[in-house]
Structure 1
């Protein structure tokens, strides 16, 4: 089902009910699609192994590919991350919330489906109001993978998500058409020099002043 927000006042009216319903679906092991700064994302409860397995199934995603997470606030990092380097703190101050996914050393109890056995996890604090409202309603990390079949173009509209994934998604939060263009930039801070794994919305030139040496 597609949920159409009736108000932009987060925390009030029909939209607040939709968000509570979406959070309840996630907490019960369901999947919810939501808009981000670039494309639609697909949320599962990051602490629910069965939900993550279901996400892999409907995306037809290979288990050896890691999944990034969205967090409700910086304080939630400790649930997922073993260590936050000083460089990461500078980067978070500069680019969060926004289009930077930072790859940290993962907590040992984090699902290997999320880390793909790398002992690392990508984390982002979104700047999109609806994505932010969803993860805050959840109160804990959610998956931030794209809402599409792996290897296929990412989706910019709720209809695109439905056409791609069908009834495999329990709810779609309709934020209209997303900008598309570039995805988030992915930066690994677990070793020095820091390494750009994917250059996206935030360019290497923008990152350089906060990183020292950068690959």
Structure 2
């Protein structure tokens, strides 16, 4: 019996090898004893929200329209993906807190498209602060500055009390064309990372859709993030008296930020 089994195995192996090598049945083989079941593919379920690709102008308009109407959307930035709401709609900013279960005591920052937009609002910044911003914008550094009525001139409007703290606010100019064009269509955006509070950052639009898509109006899909970590946050509220303080080290190392500041300060002397 063992010899017969060995002969059958040898014949099967030889027949399979010969038939595969020459592409035709040289040695006869019977039908397979077992067949793997082929998975039946059903229709792909639609995404839970509108998910247009970022390379289309129409996609930007779609997301901008949703933001301008008071919706919350996932958007790419020059660091990780973010949740965005128009500063004209305080209820949308409040919705961000509920969507990601964010503690109310954690402030939300704003994104603007360029430094000229900030200059037009004429905030009472010192020459040192302006020069520092010139060196870090656009990019992965957010500056916390003193809050004031000039924010309404900037376009923050009704969302004034829902962004930043009572006395300060973080402003960033992202170094990404898609995001900047979107802001030009909407005005300043209230921004926070697109992840449930306490969890890791979203570094691909698929992560945003999977985790929060069912709670959003849309996600602007731009593939992999430019960075794996969020921006670096710098407190500039006492820049003239005490210098700057790194509150969060992100994609830009703290040492590089301090190097920029020292260079700017020395140039101002």
Do both proteins adopt the same fold according to a TM-score greater than 0.5, normalized to the shorter chain?
yes
Q: Are 1:77 and 2:118 matched, yes or no?
A: yes
Q: Distance in 2 between matches of 1:46 and 1:77?
A: 15
Are the structure 2 counterparts of residues 106 and 47 from structure 1 closer, same or farther at C-alpha, using a change threshold of 3 Å? farther
The answer to whether the Cα contact below 8 Å between 1:60 and 1:149 also exists between their aligned partners in 2 is: yes
Offset of 1:111 from its aligned partner?
A: 2.8
Give the distance between the partners of 2:191 and 2:68, measured in 1 at CA. Answer: 16
Name the structure where helix makes up a greater proportion of residues: 2
2:171 counterpart SS class: strand
Quote the Cα distance in structure 2 between the aligned partners of 1:176 and 1:103: 29
Is the 8 Å Cα contact of residues 231 and 250 (structure 2) preserved in structure 1?
Answer: yes
1:90 to 106, 131, 136: 131
Larger radius of gyration: 2
> Following the alignment from structure 2 to structure 1, what is the Cα–Cα distance between the partners of residues 120 and 232?
22
Residue of 41, 52, 61 corresponding to 1:3: 52
Where does residue 156 of structure 2 map in the other structure?
Answer: none
Contact 1:185–1:201 (Cα < 8 Å) also in 2: yes
Give the alignment's Cα RMSD to 1 decimal. 2.1
> Structure 1's 107 and 76: CA in aligned 2 closer, same or farther, altered over 3 A?
farther
Structure having greater relative contact order (Cα 8 Å, sep ≥ 6): 1
Which of 103, 125, 130 is the aligned partner of 1:62? 103
Alignment of 1:1-215 (within 5 A): 1-5=50-54, 7=55, 15-77=56-118, 82-108=123-149, 111-117=160-166, 119-138=167-186, 140-191=187-238, 192-212=242-262
Residue 46 (structure 2) aligns with = none
Q: Deviations over 1:29-71 (max 9, x none)?
A: 0012111122101110123111111111101111111111110
Higher strand content, 1 or 2: 1
Following superposition, the deviation at residue 155 of structure 1 comes to 0.7
1:137-172: per-residue Cα shift (whole Å, max 9, x none)?
21x110221111111111111111011113211111
Length-normalised TM-score, structure 2: 0.69
